[in-house]
Amino acid sequence: MDFYEKMGRVPMQELSPLKAGPTTAPSSEDSTTFDGTHLNAEGSVAVGAMVAAELRRVVPELANSIRADRRFIIVSPDAGGDFKTLHEAIAAIPDNSALRTFVHVKPGIYDEGQILLPASKKNVTFDGEDPVRTVLRYHFNVQESEPSAARGFTGTGVVILADNFHASGIGFENVSGNHGQALALRIDADRAVLKNCRITGWQDTLMINKGRMYFKECFISGRVDFIYGSATAVFDECEIMSRNRGHITAANTPQNQPYGFVFLNCRLTWDPAPWVNINNPNDPGSSKPDKADLGRPWRDYACVAFVRCQMGDHINPLGFVTWVGAEQRNQTVRYSEYKNTGPGASTEGRNKWVRQLTDE
């Protein structure tokens, strides 16, 4: 029951067969085509693995006779799981599986260096219990050496290269500080879904590339370009917190890609804690609250939309701003807003190349 409740109605449909007889195509908005009572092959693996794990726990003498199915893996920093680290769990996940593997991550601070999910580990769910208490922590930025970091991914805490990655109840954080690029999470894959996750850092907190992604009820914080990349991504009812000054987005949407980042019904907030330039504590702007903008174009044709979002008074009246030294990008950007609210949503001072959408 805990597993079902945490997954939610729509994701649980992946574990249920279709009803017998003629049906319409299944839809995330209509569960009537799903059986809802029995399990399909993927559901049998997930629930069967839970039964096996419980049998091993309550009848230890049977442990050697019960196969430890690696489609449902429990990670715990103490002795209460199949593995103590995410590295061990990822190594146990079957390659190129058509069935989903659920990695249930017990509460704890997982300080394991860089965590990389390779492209061969498709259809994987990281399932945590609480994004504040279940945290994947990283300490390095791109200028610092970390022996376990994969080539090309320095300064990045968690790297996801596998399609169909899901995560819920997980915290991703880079605690290197406000002195350069330091990624908490990078996703270079298609069809990633994150729900109720916390992604925190300073500069370049979240990089999303190459595919389609969906973020639901997540908390994302940072200071400079802290949501960036080339993906098509929807942020639905998320809180986007600026940590004093800087830029929320830095999209580099390809020219032939119709959409980039879409923020739906999100809350744009700011961190009231004083900002300190650790490289120059005497910087007169260190403790001065300042405006943050909605984004700047990392490349030509950057595409970002804010739709029905609540914007605090920390948002720059210009809205989006120019990438200094690349003013020509203002001619190709696809920045738009629609029916946003709050003191930061006023359109009176917006740059003229930011489009205000109509109902039509």
Tell me the catalytic residues: 204, 225
Tokens 């109840």 -> residue: 169
* Tally of CA atoms within 13 A in the half-sphere of 195 that contains its CB: 11
Measured CA to CA, the distance from residue 19 to residue 37 in angstroms comes to 10
Cα–Cα distances (Å) from 67 to 35, 55, 63, 99, in that order, read 28, 11, 8, 18
Q: Which amino acid is at 91?
A: A
Give SS3 for 125: strand
Closest CA to 335 of 218, 207, 216, 323: 323
Measured CA to CA, the distance from residue 61 to residue 72 in angstroms comes to 21
- CB burial class (10 A; 0-12, 13-18, 19+) of residue 124? buried
Measured CA to CA, the distance from residue 220 to residue 198 in angstroms comes to 6
CB 302 within 8 A of CB 252: yes
Q: With the C-alpha atoms ordered 13, 14, 17, 23, is the resulting torsion angle positive or negative? A: positive
CB 284 within 8 A of CB 259: no
Q: How much is the CA Rg of the chain, to the nearest whole Å?
A: 22
